Amino acid sequence: MTQKIFESYKLGPLTLTNRIVMAPLTRRRATAPELKANDLMALYYRQRSSAGLIVAEGSQVSPEGYGFTGSPGCYSRVQTEAWKKVTRAVHEEGGRIFLQLWHVGPWSHRLLQPEGKPPLSASVVVPVGEVLTPGGRLPYEPSRSMTVNEIHATIKDFGLGARNAMEAGFDGVEVHGAHSYIIDQFIMDGTNKRNDEFGGSLENRSRFLFMVLDEVMQYVPADEVGLRLSPRQVKIGMADSKPEDTYGYIVNKLNSYKLAYLHISEMMTQGERLGEPERTVLPLYREIYDGRLISCGGHSRVSALQMIDSGYADMVAFGKPFISNPDLVDRLKSGNEPTEPDKDTFYHGGPRGYVDYPAMDSEAQA
């Protein structure tokens, strides 16, 4: 296998130091009540700036897009100013960083929503599971179907988030269209039961996504905009009846957008990556997509090298390995085994399990 993954790579106007991407990871350590980035977050991203590209954690584009307590926003002046310390930290280390624009849709609760209203969705759904609220962990409740006015307002919210991200110094933005959140709610026929111009046909169900992209590109050049999709990975109770047709249609149409990249999220384990490589959808999309592809989900050093060498992906994203290995790029280069993360510290809390994972040199000296 070659070592192309460690070589510099041209991404639109950017030259990345390698083809390794730090995937967006919700860590829920933003400062309340403003939901703004802080010094701890700046240190966290600084430590991981050897990634060719960091995609910072999903950041809600509006108060209505909030559903995960402690997750940062990108819709207010205070939030925009606070993100500047993060982008400055990464750039001081020679890194590149995009901000992921996020709206959770129905994965929220009225206790987290403005005026205590039910959360928004393409159509009424009741998510499975519980959500952390000011009143403790509570079952999800039915969402409400968005009015056409609310749809257009949310599209504008994505544009505002994009504008704020660029003002904050990010090198680009990634639109979160994956994992059953608001954009995916419109895409999937299992969650979109509308009978207006945003429901029914494939063209109508994908209309919201493409209007969001059009709005975002009012503020950010196309080659600095990424999109994340998860064609086969949805939350329990959420699905599309013909995902190959649905997402194939979308991916083909994306060719005309000339985006920085298309980020495909597949929730696979390392064992599945190596033992069942046929499960990946990347070969299918490589055939129909002309742009850059990022593969994410369950990658090891071996599968990442294989993915690049096969040509199925142009970059490979790692999620959890970056949590516990701030120097993951060096570990992958040397073949050293990554440190396993402490799952109990994934969310909330302070520095423990966030910025205290040692680099290889520190481990050797311990």
Give CA–CA dist 353/158, Å, rounded: 31
Helical spans, DSSP H, in 237-279:
243-254, 270-275
Q: Structure tokens of 323?
A: 């949590």
Q: Among candidates 76, 71, 66, which has minimal Cα distance to 56?
A: 71
Cβ neighbour number for residue 255 with a 10 Å cutoff: 13
Q: Structure tokens of 105?
A: 């849709």
Using the Cα atoms of residue 273, residue 279, residue 280 and residue 284 in order, give the sign of their dihedral: positive
Distances (CA, A) of 293 to 11, 243, 255, 311: 11, 18, 12, 9
- Residues 172, 224: contact at Cβ < 8 Å? yes
- Residues 164, 80: contact at Cβ < 8 Å? yes
Q: How many residues does the chain have?
A: 366
- Residues 98, 227: contact at Cβ < 8 Å? no
Using the Cα atoms of residue 59, residue 60, residue 66 and residue 70 in order, give the sign of their dihedral: positive
Residue 265, strand partner residues: 296
249 is annotated as an active-site residue: no
Cα–Cα–Cα angle for 128, 133, 138, nearest 5°? 40
Amino acid at 36: K
Give CA–CA dist 281/265, Å, rounded: 10
CA torsion angle for 120, 123, 125, 127 (degrees, to 10)? -50
Give CA–CA dist 250/301, Å, rounded: 30
- Token pair 């606070």 is at which residue? 82
Q: Which residue is catalytic, options 9, 66, 181, 357?
A: 181
Give catalytic residues, as residue numbers.
181
